[in-house]
A and B are shown apart, each in its own frame.
Chain A
Amino acid sequence: MHNGNAHEMGRLIEPGRVHRDVYTDPAVFELEMDRIFGRAWLFVGHTSQVPNPGDFITTQLGRQPVVMTRHRDGNVHVLLNRCTHRGAKVVNERKGNAPRLTCCYHGWSFDTDGRLVAVPVPEGCAADFDKEQFGLARAPRVGQYRGFVFTSLSPRGASFEDHIGPMKGNIDDLVDRAPAGELALDAGMHRYTYAGNWKLQVENVLDSYHVPFGHASTVNKQGVQFARREGDQKGATVVETEKKQTAASWRERKSYIVGNGHGWTSNTTLDEGKRSSPAFNEYKRVLAEKVGAARAAEILTPRLHNSLIYPNMSIMGLNIHVRVIQPIAVDRTEVTIYPIRLVGAPDAMNFGNIRLLNVTHSAASFVQTDDLEAFVRTQKGLASRMTDWVDISRGLGDEEPDRALNATRALATHEMVVRAQYRAWLGYMREAA
């Protein structure tokens, strides 16, 4: 059991290894709820999920239920979804539209900006009862970038700009691919869960090392993955079959870190311009018409994809989606995958992207399911008390500066990004909330 003092937390993380308690100790999990999820900038939702006044979505930030609303004046609010009277969760639906948010218990009702507007049997209120004091609490800090809404549940700590700033380019990298320059997260969601710690999924989103082996069942005898995307002539080559080894092109992929636990991977030879199908060609035409041929060519050679915005959100740029990783217990995690519609792109292409996620990232997909099996088996293995340490030392000392990107670079099959995540983890966990 851990009491949370800084020295003790520091002993859990070493330069190339992580103590098993980080994944298995319920006391560490409770500390994470306070020290990470109680104050880090967390993704709440995208403004396209609440396009009209009265629209709302609900979600959970660590242990805190929240509701994100669109008020009549067009502003988006993040409110704590807990009645200020006796504490009931006010909004129970995952999404909807309502002129007021009314608690099911005694009928207190709140405007979509959180103000308390009506209390049944008002003559019973205490003499000095002031409705102004009983609005739904607003999240202490809210920041927005290109429709992505983030919240910190603490009034203190790194500013939105300091935390998210280094990753704005990664958000741009995806949003700019929409001919209209905006995204819509309005194509439903995939939800999956696994019996394992949340950080196993966080580590995995930037893990290029596992692909040839972990996803062997998606690779054919020629070492090529099934054709995945609209306009791709074939899938990625991940294995050189004669040599029985990970393909050179795969090994050359790079990963990058920029502090705060964030990172991304990059296929530096990726050229989306080569994709060709009637829908994709029409997309390329519309994009070039909007932004010009030169800018379209830049946009079609994306370099900042498969991004992790620490602690628990990723933007995947190849099979495009946004992913949110929600810790439920030390050994239980729920993940939500939002397909993305590129506004202004042909319907057929957006539909293709949405369909692709069914086979890559749904609970019934070809790809994600083998990852989940790996997470579950890792959690089982880590129950062993005979070995305390998890090794994350691949490429330790081989990191190099990338001055053009103002980042640190390594091979994507190394574990620099995981080490960066645990440096950030320790930064939060050392300090009492």
Chain B
Amino acid sequence: MNAPAGDAAIDRARIEEFLIHEARLLDDRRFRDWMALFSDDGTYWVPSVPGQAGPFEQASLFYDDRELMKNRVERLEHPRIHVQTPPSRTAHLVGNLMIETVDEAKGEYAVSSTVIMVEYRDEHQRVFAGRQHHRLRRDGASFRIAHKRVDLVNCDSAFEPIAVPI
């Protein structure tokens, strides 16, 4: 279904602001607040091959539901998480936003954007980049994330540890 012509510009502005807010929470290491952006049935997926069909039949870098997300966030807050001693600092940049589809019945928007995350930790800097896909569910004046998928350009490479979500 295409977006109704009348309020497309408003939707777009709100969605963009929401994605920038999400990126900011990650950069500020406010992981608990980031998790709260997800709906109760929300999922976060980073596939390990380009065009991966699903999260169940094969390995993924991340496939977290809210329960795993909570485990992940608790670990990130743990004083003895060695791989975050010192912690990562990140800068996310979100752009090339496209509203792919709108499902008025569910109040959901399928949105894609390009994400670049620069990460610095322990004398090393590296770059993650790819296309991210959000399924956003209208929630009052804002949104909840029903599903977020990040397709990294190098998703099938050998990675050094990835401790923070992208």
Bound Cα distance A335, B158 (Å): 8
In the complex, the answer to whether B82 meets A187 with C-beta atoms within 8 Å is no
Q: Determine the interface band of chain B, counting residues with CB < 8 A from chain A.
A: 20 to 34
> Distance (Å) between the CB of B95 and the closest chain A CB?
24
Is B41 in the interface zone, CB < 8 Å from A?
A: no
> Distance (Å) between the CB of B53 and the closest chain A CB?
11
Across the two chains, which residue of chain A brings its CB closest to B81? A217
In the complex, the answer to whether A374 meets B82 with C-beta atoms within 8 Å is yes
> Distance (Å) between the CB of B152 and the closest chain A CB?
11
Bound Cα distance A312, B157 (Å): 20
Is B78 in the interface zone, CB < 8 Å from A?
A: yes
Bound Cα distance A187, B59 (Å): 6
Is A57 in the interface zone, CB < 8 Å from B?
A: no
Kindly list chain A residues whose C-beta atoms are within 8 Å of the C-beta of B127.
none
In the complex, the answer to whether B58 meets A334 with C-beta atoms within 8 Å is no
Partner of B60, one of A226, A362, A377: A362
In the complex, the answer to whether B156 meets A191 with C-beta atoms within 8 Å is yes
Kindly list chain A residues whose C-beta atoms are within 8 Å of the C-beta of B57.
187, 351, 354
In the complex, the answer to whether A363 meets B61 with C-beta atoms within 8 Å is yes
Is B83 in the interface zone, CB < 8 Å from A?
A: yes
Kindly list chain A residues whose C-beta atoms are within 8 Å of the C-beta of B80.
213, 216-217
Kindly list chain A residues whose C-beta atoms are within 8 Å of the C-beta of B63.
355, 358
In the complex, the answer to whether A188 meets B75 with C-beta atoms within 8 Å is no
In the complex, the answer to whether B56 meets A355 with C-beta atoms within 8 Å is yes
In the complex, the answer to whether B75 meets A364 with C-beta atoms within 8 Å is no
Chain B binder among A248-256, A289-297, A365-373: A365-373
Across the two chains, which residue of chain B brings its CB closest to A218? B75
In the complex, the answer to whether B68 meets A359 with C-beta atoms within 8 Å is yes
> Distance (Å) between the CB of B119 and the closest chain A CB?
12
> Distance (Å) between the CB of B149 and the closest chain A CB?
14
Bound Cα distance A377, B80 (Å): 15
Partner of B158, one of A193, A195, A218, A368: A193
Is B49 in the interface zone, CB < 8 Å from A?
A: yes
Is A214 in the interface zone, CB < 8 Å from B?
A: yes
Across the two chains, which residue of chain B brings its CB closest to A348? B56
Kindly list chain B residues whose C-beta atoms are within 8 Å of the C-beta of A355.
55-56, 60, 63
Is A194 in the interface zone, CB < 8 Å from B?
A: yes
Is B38 in the interface zone, CB < 8 Å from A?
A: no
Q: 16 extra interchain contacts, Cβ-Cβ under 8 A, other than A187-B57, A364-B163, A370-B83?
A: A189-B48, A190-B61, A191-B159, A192-B158, A354-B59, A355-B56, A355-B60, A357-B59, A359-B71, A362-B61, A363-B61, A363-B161, A364-B159, A368-B161, A370-B81, A373-B161
Task: List residues of B whose CB falls within 8 A of some A CB.
Answer: 46, 48-49, 55-64, 68, 71-72, 74-75, 78, 80-83, 85, 156-163
